[in-house]
């Protein structure tokens, strides 16, 4: 079992919920990445998702797209991100979120080797279909890297059973049809959908996409094991900096305190 899977399972067994913030590496300069990670950890992050800027980010909404453009304007590349992460002693597990082209251009074997010198324990690759996961799994099999599965709103029961059975780290349950971003409208049957995934999954299920305030966080903690929050944090970091975002993340993580023992 992958270390990241064990980590999230241990939290669930202890009755704790998980909060995973997303940030775009390099959006505010790579030299600020360590300070962003430290702030998120202090304010309650369970793990942190690190975004890799890409020219065609099919899962990303406007806020994260703009952050990706800013990161590329700063000269951010996957190689530079990994070099920076090798210098950072993160108190919590890191998860690298990027697109297939970026990782394959870097070289999967090289990626695994270089990430072994970082706190990265998971990969999220939203444009890698389940049917093509064997392009990645044999290479990361002996590493500490977990390949995290995403489950969409349109996934039928048989597909959900298949995806959860083979899942690593945690199951990423997408809460909307479309891209990330604030101001999303959730469908009426969403809670039932999330509860079904949680019932079927042998590992924790985290909800993500469109979760932008403490009310959202509280709601989704009632039907799954945690949340992933991205766009609202990414936007705040760009507009308000680390100090301004500190208060936002404290507010977002407040609902988790009732589950901490």
How far is residue 199 CA from its own chain's centroid?
21
- Please provide residue 14's backbone torsions phi and psi, each rounded to the nearest 5 degrees: -85, 0
- 34, 36, 49, 73: the active-site residue: 49
Tokens 């997408």 correspond to 174
Interatomic CA distance for residues 51 and 60, integer angstroms: 10
- Please provide residue 202's backbone torsions phi and psi, each rounded to the nearest 5 degrees: -80, -10
Interatomic CA distance for residues 11 and 161, integer angstroms: 23
DSSP 120: E
Quick check: is 49 catalytic? yes
**Is the Cα dihedral 88, 66, 213, 174 positive or negative?**
negative
Tokens 């072994």 correspond to 116
- 34, 36, 60, 158: the active-site residue: 60
Tokens 């709103």 correspond to 153
Quick check: is 114 catalytic? no
Helix pair angle (78-85, 108-115), 10° resolution: 20
Query: Catalytic site residues?
Result: 49, 60
């Amino acid at each position: 079992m992958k270390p990241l899977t064990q980590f999230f399972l241990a939290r669930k067994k202890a009755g704790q919920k998980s909060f995973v913030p997303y940030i775009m590496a390099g959006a505010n300069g790579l030299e600020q990445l360590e300070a962003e990670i430290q702030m998120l950890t202090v304010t309650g992050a369970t793990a942190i998702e690190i975004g890799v800027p890409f020219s065609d980010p099919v899962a990303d909404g406007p806020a994260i797209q703009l952050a990706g453009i800013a990161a590329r304007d700063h000269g951010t590349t996957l190689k530079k991100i990994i070099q920076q992460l090798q210098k950072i002693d993160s108190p919590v597990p890191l998860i690298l979120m990027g697109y297939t082209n970026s990782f394959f251009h870097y070289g999967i074997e090289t990626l695994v080797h270089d990430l072994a010198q970082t706190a990265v324990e998971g990969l999220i690759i939203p444009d890698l279909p389940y049917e093509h996961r064997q392009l990645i799994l044999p290479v990361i099999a002996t590493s500490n890297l977990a390949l995290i599965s995403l489950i969409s709103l349109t996934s039928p029961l048989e597909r959900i059973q298949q995806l959860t059975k083979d899942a690593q780290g945690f199951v990423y349950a997408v809460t909307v049809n479309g891209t990330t971003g604030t101001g999303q409208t959730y469908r009426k049957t969403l809670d039932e959908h999330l509860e079904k995934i949680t019932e079927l999954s042998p590992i924790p299920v985290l909800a993500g996409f469109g979760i932008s305030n403490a009310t959202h966080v509280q709601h989704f903690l009632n039907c799954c094991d945690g949340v992933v929050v991205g766009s609202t944090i990414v936007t705040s970091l760009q507009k308000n900096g680390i100090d301004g975002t500190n208060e936002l993340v404290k507010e977002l993580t407040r609902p988790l305190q009732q589950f901490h023992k």
